[in-house]
């Protein structure tokens, strides 16, 4: 494999939210289906009001097929409600961030917008611009349909966002590579010492095959180590604090991952979370590595699934975040709010959630589906996706990602120090002290 150059800059985009929406960048152009973004939430079309829904699935089908599948889902909802008092208009855009910022700066909010993993604007919440969906979810009995949105996106008893698909991560392993190296398999890895013992065997086996690519995946490992204990879970599920930064649990988790990454070698580290992930995916596809840290969606990109298997982290830990998804403006007519809430019910229904799994290749938010059953008779990649999702959803410890709870700047800072620690001879204790100072500065 080629050498991955080390630097201290991580691309925050891949940490920012749903990796599935890799094309949702912040650009100045807005692509639409014929409508123009309105300056308020009272748009009309002839005699009808218009509910404008902004989303990031602007890609051509040839570029990214799931985008077309999602647009079809939206079009179906529009057709179902074509005779109603409000017109539903889905508007694909590359500039999710710009639309939100411009609206909130003017004291309003888009009628509906899919945040695609971004956090809900605190300014919008403070101004009372975003609708609390919890009363509707409770009244309609949609708790199981929205799944972990109900707990992870609960802010002081209010739910401002529902993501129809989850950012779910474990890792993938090549069974043949591990077996040939004489290493144990993940189903026996109860601790991270078990993981490291297997990786050492892969390295000792020699040849061009390496253990794993470190970088963004290393931050996920630290995340999973904290997720093994009740105290660590408490830390992850709250904003980062000085107590957490100075805690023994956080220090031990960082140093454990840093030591593993240093043993893994700086040649197998990447500073770019996006490009690095692409490198690791390419190498893994070729059978050149034992472990590939990535989400459940990676199943769709595998060329040969014969020896590729999904797994959750040691200690039965999976990372799964609802993060920001569908949000609704508060300052709309009752008719528009009613249709917007009906759209939430539609997107979390069994029918649509099944499509999100089978056509989009994502982990649906609903807990009402049997994914393995849905995959019966499907192609190998869909079967792998089902296995990965089912494993993660049923893990003993399912915890959110650090970037979802602590923010991308925090996750980036941690990732940078872990990458710096991969260089042989680097003082890991010193790197941790540097990290502490940086994190304390970031949280103020």
| pLDDT > 80? residue 84 | yes
Query: Mean pLDDT, the chain, as a whole number?
Result: 89
For position 40, what pLDDT does the model report?
A: 44
For position 25, what pLDDT does the model report?
A: 32
Q: Is 377 exposed, middle or buried (0-12, 13-18, 19+ CB in 10 A)?
A: exposed
Q: What confidence category does residue 276 fall into, taking pLDDT thresholds of 50, 70 and 90? A: low
Q: Please name every residue paired with 48 in a beta bridge, in sequence order, or none if there are none.
A: 45
Return the sign of the alpha-carbon dihedral for residues 195, 199, 200, 205.
positive
Q: What confidence category does residue 305 fall into, taking pLDDT thresholds of 50, 70 and 90? A: confident
Q: Where is average pLDDT lowest: 8-12, 105-109, 148-152?
A: 8-12
- Cβ atoms < 10 Å from Cβ of 25: 12
Query: Do the bridges between strand 289-292 and strand 48-55 make them parallel or antiparallel, or are there none, so unpaired?
Result: unpaired
Distance CA 362, CA 231 (A): 30
For position 393, what pLDDT does the model report?
A: 95
Residues 179-191, mean pLDDT to the nearest whole number: 96
More confident position, 158 or 48:
158
Q: What confidence category does residue 400 fall into, taking pLDDT thresholds of 50, 70 and 90? A: very high
Residue 180, helix vs strand vs coil: helix
Residue 200, helix vs strand vs coil: helix
| pLDDT > 50? residue 340 | yes
Beta strand spans in 376-421 (E):
397-399
Distance CA 322, CA 319 (A): 10
Q: pTM of whole model > 0.75?
A: yes
Residues 232-259, mean pLDDT to the nearest whole number: 97
Q: Please name every residue paired with 210 in a beta bridge, in sequence order, or none if there are none.
A: 289
Q: Where is average pLDDT lowest: 20-34, 211-225, 275-289?
A: 20-34
Distance CA 309, CA 383 (A): 11
| Digit-coded pLDDT (tens) for 411-438 | 999 999 999 999 999 999 999 999 999 9
- Cβ atoms < 10 Å from Cβ of 73: 20
Question: Per the structure block, which two tokens stand in for 217?
Answer: 């995946």
Give, in degrees to the nearest 5, the angle at Cα 110 between 104 and 111: 145
For position 43, what pLDDT does the model report?
A: 58
* CB-facing half-sphere around the CA of 129: CA atoms within 13 A: 23
For position 44, what pLDDT does the model report?
A: 57
For position 216, what pLDDT does the model report?
A: 86
């Amino acid at each position: 494999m080629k050498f991955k150059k080390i630097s201290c800059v991580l691309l925050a985009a891949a940490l920012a939210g749903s990796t599935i929406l890799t094309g949702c960048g912040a650009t100045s152009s807005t692509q639409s289906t014929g409508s123009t973004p309105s300056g308020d939430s009272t748009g009309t079309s002839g005699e009808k009001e218009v509910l404008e829904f902004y989303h990031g699935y602007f890609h051509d089908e040839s570029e990214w097929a799931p985008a077309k599948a999602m647009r079809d889902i939206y079009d179906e909802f529009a057709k179902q409600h074509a005779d109603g008092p409000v017109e539903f208009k889905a508007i694909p855009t590359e500039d999710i961030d710009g639309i939100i910022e411009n609206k909130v700066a003017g004291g309003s909010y888009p009628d509906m917008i899919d945040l695609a993993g971004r956090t809900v604007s605190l300014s919008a919440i403070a101004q009372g611009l975003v609708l609390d969906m919890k009363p509707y979810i409770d009244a309609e009995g949609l708790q199981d349909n929205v799944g972990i949105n109900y707990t992870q996106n609960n802010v002081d008893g209010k739910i401002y966002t529902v993501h129809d698909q989850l950012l779910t991560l474990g890792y993938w392993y090549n069974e043949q590579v591990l077996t040939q190296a004489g290493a144990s398999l993940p189903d026996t890895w109860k601790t991270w010492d078990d993981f490291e013992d297997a990786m050492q065997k892969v390295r000792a086996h020699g040849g061009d095959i390496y253990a794993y690519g470190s970088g963004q995946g290393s931050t996920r490992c630290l995340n999973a180590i904290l997720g093994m204990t009740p105290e660590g879970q408490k830390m992850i599920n709250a904003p980062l604090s000085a107590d957490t930064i100075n805690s023994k649990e956080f220090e031990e988790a960082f140093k454990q991952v840093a030591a593993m990454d240093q043993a893994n070698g700086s040649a197998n580290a990447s500073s770019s979370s996006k490009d690095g992930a692409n490198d690791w995916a390419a190498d893994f596809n070729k059978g050149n590595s034992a472990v590939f840290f990535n989400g459940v969606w990676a199943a769709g990109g595998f060329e040969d699934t014969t020896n590729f298997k999904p797994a959750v982290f040691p200690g039965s830990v999976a990372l799964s975040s609802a993060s920001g998804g569908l949000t609704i403006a508060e300052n709309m007519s009752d008719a528009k709010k009613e249709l917007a809430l009906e759209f939430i019910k539609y997107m979390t229904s069994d029918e649509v959630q099944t499509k999100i799994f089978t056509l989009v290749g994502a982990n649906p938010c609903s807990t009402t589906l049997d994914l393995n059953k849905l995959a019966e008779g499907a192609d190998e990649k869909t079967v792998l996706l089902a296995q990965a999702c089912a494993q993660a959803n049923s893990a003993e410890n399912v915890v959110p990602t650090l970037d979802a709870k602590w923010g991308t700047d925090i996750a980036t800072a941690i990732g940078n120090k872990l990458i710096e620690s991969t260089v042989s001879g680097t003082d890991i204790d010193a790197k941790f002290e540097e990290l502490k100072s940086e994190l304390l500065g970031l949280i103020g």
